[in-house]
A and B are shown apart, each in its own frame.
Chain A
């Protein structure tokens, strides 16, 4: 059974720092991995999707990497801003289902 773990559960940093959020999964037979952002009381916003054949994806200040063999993905946020404060979720696609981690709650203070 696929299990997805995110570390750390919470993170508080000053503005301007470069951040790394971690996601690990137990079954490497995935089709893709998605990173999402969730603001309090809101739905999920898709940030990046990495196909199983890819190693990384970039969008602006965000870079996500995927190492299927070791069951790991990282989300790198460059030059963090207070507007980046949110919960970040990773999810892996097994057959037709997305399996979610419990998220990393990020606070960036000025």
Chain B
């Protein structure tokens, strides 16, 4: 089955801890994205990567970090510097970044700070 997987489905973090959210795709897509969704708000872009070993900040990158060492994987680390990390996190991918390309989404990870 081709698709995007995210793990874990639920994640609990104590204040001051860093946590890493996993995103893997087997669609052979070059571009991958991380979004954050809060109740009553649209999705907001955190980071995106157009190709391996390259990534760019989105609109709300502060307190987050990413890596893109493999084409299939784009993990997101939520650091202790992120003041309000409780949210639903969604990973997406597209064949290439930019025009004309449809984005496909994973099932999401819900992060809660205790």
Contacts and interface: CB of A to CB of B under 8 A. Distances in A.
A100 B42 CA distance: 5
Q: Is the interface of A mostly helix, strand, loop or mixed?
A: strand
Contacts of B108: 41-43
Given A96-B98, A97-B58, A4 B106 contact: no
Contact of A34 (B98, B103, B110): B103
A44 B110 CA distance: 14
Q: How large is the interface on B (under 10, 10 to 19, 20 to 34, 35 or more residues)?
A: 20 to 34
B42 A45 contact: no
Contacts of A43: 4, 6, 90, 105-108
B96 to A, nearest CB: 10
A95 B97 CA distance: 9
Nearest to B107: A43
B50 interface: yes
A81 interface: no
Interface centre among B4, B102, B103 (most CB of A within 10 A): B103
A31 B101 CA distance: 9
Q: Which of B44, B100, B107 has the most CB of A within 10 A?
A: B100
A71 interface: no
A97 B33 CA distance: 9
B50 to A, nearest CB: 7
